[in-house]
Amino acid sequence: MGDQARRIGVAVDFSICSREALKWAIDNVVRKGDHLILITIRPEGNYEEAEIQLWEATGSPLIPLTELCDPNIMKKYGTKPDADTLDIVNLAATKKEVTVVMKIFWGDPREKLCEAIDNIPLDHLVVGNRGLGKLKRVIMGSVSNYVVNNSTCPVTVVKHPEA
């Protein structure tokens, strides 16, 4: 890994909004040789899987693209990438020659995204803004705002056109 290999994180929850952010990151930030790291935050819960209990503190290991595309493996992690997201990253891996991996964290998205930045560590994080209604945003606090204010690396918030 040369020192040019930057680690670009994109927060993905497999929504339209996160696909927009992913496309934007690939078009505008990611360049050949980078590591594109999809970061998924799952709610905390009572997971049967022993591994998940171990990873709840630190996040999953980095999951390579081949495993990301394997529904059986993803089921083990309790997550289900949608076909569009997989198409987008497969294309990026081939056309832009980037290494795509995914890391899953369990817990509060705001805290976990900030943890991911330091833990991986990331050079840049791209997040979509969900466009929650005003009231919901007041109650939940915007994840993107929190991350922007508490992050140790540059963060780009990609607004969803309909938001």
User: What is the pLDDT at residue 143?
Assistant: 87
Candidates 47, 37, 10, 7; CA nearest to 157 is 10
> Is residue 30 assigned to a domain?
yes
pLDDT tens for residues 139-149?
Answer: 656 888 899 99
CB 67, CB 74: distance < 8 Å: yes
Candidates 128, 148, 113; CA nearest to 16 is 128
> Is residue 2 assigned to a domain?
no
What is the DSSP code (8-state) at residue 123?
S
50: domain CATH number is 3.40.50.620
Can you tell me whether residue 4 is helix, strand or coil?
coil
Q: Round the average pLDDT of the chain to a whole number and report it.
A: 88
pLDDT at residue 27 greater than cutoff 90: yes
Domain count, the chain: 1
> Is residue 1 assigned to a domain?
no
CB 29, CB 14: distance < 8 Å: no
Domain carrying residue 133:
7-159
User: What is the pLDDT at residue 1?
Assistant: 46
User: What is the pLDDT at residue 118?
Assistant: 94
User: What is the pLDDT at residue 133?
Assistant: 65
Helices 83-95, 16-28: inter-axial angle, 10-degree rounding: 10
> Is residue 38 assigned to a domain?
yes
> Is residue 128 assigned to a domain?
yes
